[in-house]
């Protein structure tokens, strides 16, 4: 839910790729449990980002913005989850 709010807020300034962001978040969650699943899903996230650019739905900047926001949200979530358990 936090990811969606962060992306909606960023969309006021730049159109971030929500597809890429969601897949980066899922990859980060898989990394927390199993590194091989995390790497596999990160590959899927990379393919999603590339296809968004190829289909001209987003620019490179927008894809990187979505991935960066998802990385930040997932890092904060996982860090806080580890610290407060």
Per-residue pLDDT in tens (0 to 9) along the chain, 85 residues? 889 999 999 999 988 999 999 999 999 999 989 999 999 999 999 999 999 999 999 999 999 999 999 999 999 998 888 777 7
Alpha carbon distance 47, 28 (integer Å): 16
Is 52 among the domain residues?
yes
Is 50 among the domain residues?
yes
| Domain interval for residue 46 | 22-83
Alpha carbon distance 12, 7 (integer Å): 9
Is 54 among the domain residues?
yes
Is 60 among the domain residues?
yes
Is 53 among the domain residues?
yes
Is 56 among the domain residues?
yes
Query: Looking at residue 43, what is its pLDDT?
Result: 97
**Predicted TM-score of the model (pTM):** 0.89
Helix (H, G, I), strand (E, B) or coil at 6: helix
Is 51 among the domain residues?
yes
When divided into structural domains, the chain yields a total of 1
Is 6 among the domain residues?
no
Residues in the chain: 85
């Amino acid at each position: 839910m936090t990811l969606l709010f962060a992306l909606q807020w960023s969309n006021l300034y730049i159109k971030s790729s929500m597809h890429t962001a969601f897949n980066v978040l899922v990859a980060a969650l898989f990394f927390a449990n199993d590194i091989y699943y995390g790497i596999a899903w990160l590959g899927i996230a990379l393919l999603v980002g590339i296809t968004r650019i190829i289909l001209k739905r987003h620019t490179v900047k927008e894809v990187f913005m979505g991935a960066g926001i998802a990385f930040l949200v997932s890092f904060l979530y996982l860090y806080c989850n580890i610290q407060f358990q």
